[in-house]
A and B are shown apart, each in its own frame.
Chain A
Amino acid sequence: MVRGRSTARIERTQSAVSYAILLAFALFVIFPFYWMIITSFKGEVQMRSLVSMFWPSPFVSENYDHLLAKTEFASWYQNSIIVAVSSTFLATAVGTLGAYALARLKFLGRAFMASTVLITYLVPPSILFIPLYAQIRNLGLADSLTGLIVAYPSFTVPFVTWLLMGYFESIPVELEESAMIDGATRFGAFRRVILPLAAPGLLASALYAFTQAWNEFLYALVFITNVKLRTLPVGLSTFITGDVYGWGYLMAGAVLTTLPVIAAYIYLQKYMVEGLTAGSVKG
């Protein structure tokens, strides 16, 4: 009786500690986003005189108006969508075929290519961006969105392929074998049996590829000089002026840049968390 009560007390204390730590983590994580959002709704006077610090009063839309009317933000948004969507399609298509072959088919060089894909994924962009830029320029693709669409598979394809290899390996081989005994060709089994089963994995990896391309900064900074052709991360970074006024519309731009990835993430959180753990660091 006495023992039971003390155990209950220990459990209560434990869960109180858990919630306290959890809350601290959540505050730490959320605060910068909260700050970004309320800044985007503050007027210049509110910011300059440090009034209505933690809740804008009144909420104003002047930052968003300025952003859309007086800057190239809308073009940058369009550019980011074009680049991210194209490279996502490219990466998912190439990665799906490659991952299936590397996970399932028997052919000369399979193990070597599987290792190469993994190593390629681990090579950081910071040692590739100069020669890649030289190459893009030689192809006449410098200062164009096509140049970025061509370059982004250098990191999206190895990642998607590695992720999907794990996914395909987790689908039982027997499903394909029985389809083939029933008369399907290897390709037919892939298309009608394996692809539908792998759909959640495809969706998660496409989402990753999209996020990576949407967030990419270094290549976009180096390859693009035309102001109108910038992508969002590079465009936003050019809003740093040192003046107070810039922060309002910079944060408005930051909010609008974050929205698509957060929306996609909320929609697909379950897949992403599973994909993140099952695909990239299963161990």
Chain B
Amino acid sequence: MATPAAQLRAKAALIQPRSGLEATLKRVLGPDYRMGFLFVAPIVLLVLALVAYPFCYAVYLSLTRKYVGMPPVFVGLENYIRLTYDGFFQRAVINSFVFTFASVAIKTVLGMGMALVLTSKIRFRSFWTGVLLIPWVAPTVVSALNFLWIYDYSLGVLNYLLVNVFGILKQGVGWLSEPGTAMASVIGVNVWRGFPFFGISFLAGMKAIPGELYEAAAVDGATVLQRFRYVTLPGIRNIVMIVLLLSTIWTFNDFAIIYILTKGGPGGATQVLPVLTYEIAFGAQRLGEAIAVALYMLPALAFVIIVLSNYMRRGRAR
């Protein structure tokens, strides 16, 4: 059975006699190769110059001893081996995982709550959706600075509310300067900024579930919880996976929030890999070691990226 497109192509083949170089090129490179190559060329150039080449250069530099302004000296895996036994680095790895998993878990719960509330019977739905998305749009640095001010020990509003308004605490807390609260405080900011993305994505997934499924479940006597468990969750599983993995990458590599709020302090309590990379590179000026810090988790990152890109492509194909 010939589709209209195939008929068109057959017609085009009749009009343009297949002969010589052009026909061979079209057969090998594809029928639209001229326009295709022309249109894609800028992206190929950009990817090569701004991502592929720097990435390869980074891998090379991580295998060298390189100080700013000096030529690199090849040392093999020395940087990676030394990092493996470096207590400060180990702590940053643990902190990065704690920061990432706690943030992503809380964002998932809040995002689910946001999506469920926005699908329930409420008025001015698009207004509420718009309001709840604002943290996601606002500049990260501005949000981090807002919270730095809110968390301020002597004049911050959080301590003022807890001590003077609600009387929950007798004395203010140094949210970012005490090791016990610093990590939770930076996680709070990441959650505040990131949960709307979870919410809006889950919401889109829920809207795509056919209403008949819920009606059928209701006819079968399913409770609200059962409907959520057996209709909603399976329906948004793909989106949940994509959002979780995407946010894991973003959160693991979040630099601005921690850099602005604590610079990894107090005493390394919130030190994470991206901030450590920056400090070794531009504080200590040891570039080779800094890049090794950034690339240490590359196998895990590559794994997540491959799984995620498969999910995202599958989402598109449907």
Contact = CB atoms under 8 A, between A and B. Distances in A.
B295 A127 contact: yes
15 contacts: A29-B131, A94-B43, A101-B32, A101-B35, A105-B30, A108-B28, A113-B40, A120-B51, A126-B253, A128-B50, A130-B58, A130-B277, A281-B239, A281-B246, A281-B315
Nearest to B44: A113
Interface stretch (B82-90, B140-148, B212-220): B140-148
Contacts of A131: 53-55, 57-58, 61, 291
B50 A151 contact: yes
B221 interface: no
A273 B129 contact: yes
A153 B255 contact: no
A126 B294 contact: yes
A36 B35 contact: no
Which residue, B130, B131, B141, B249, has most C-beta atoms of chain A within 10 A?
A: B141
B122 A127 contact: no
- Specify the main secondary structure of chain A where it touches its partner: helix
Interface in B218-247: 238-239, 242-243, 246
B35 A258 contact: no
Given A33-B146, A169-B316, A261-B138, 12 more contacts: A32-B135, A98-B39, A113-B40, A124-B250, A124-B252, A124-B253, A126-B255, A130-B277, A233-B256, A251-B149, A277-B201, A283-B318
A203 interface: no
Contacts of B301: 124, 127
Measured as residues with beta carbon below 8 angstroms from the partner, the interface class of chain B is 35 or more
A3 to B, nearest CB: 15
Which residue, A25, A108, A251, has most C-beta atoms of chain B within 10 A?
A: A25
Contact of B155 (A48, A169, A215, A222): A48
B249 A186 contact: no
Contacts of A258: 138-139, 142
Contacts of B8: 177, 180-181
B23 to A, nearest CB: 15
B42 A97 contact: yes
Contacts of A48: 155
A175 interface: no
Contacts of B33: 107-108
B305 A123 contact: yes
A39 B155 CA distance: 11
Given A107-B30, A166-B316, A101 B40 contact: yes
A240 B152 CA distance: 12
Interface in A160-214: 161, 165-166, 169, 173-174, 177, 180-181, 186-187, 211, 214
B50 A127 contact: no
B173 interface: no
Contact of B204 (A186, A211, A277): A277
Which residue, B44, B113, B152, B312, has most C-beta atoms of chain A within 10 A?
A: B312
A272 B130 CA distance: 10
Given A98-B43, A153-B46, A218-B256, A127 B149 contact: no
A39 B229 CA distance: 45
Contacts of B277: 126, 130
Interface in A98-124: 98, 100-102, 105-110, 113, 115-120, 122-124
B42 A117 contact: no
A118 B132 contact: no
Contacts of B201: 276-277, 281
Contacts of B196: 29
Contacts of A113: 40, 43-44
A270 B140 CA distance: 22
A272 B160 CA distance: 37
Per CB-CB distance, the 5 closest pairs between chain A and chain B, nearest first, are A283-B315, A107-B36, A277-B204, A124-B253, A101-B39
Nearest to A169: B316
Interface string B184-204: 000000001000110011011
Contacts of A102: 40
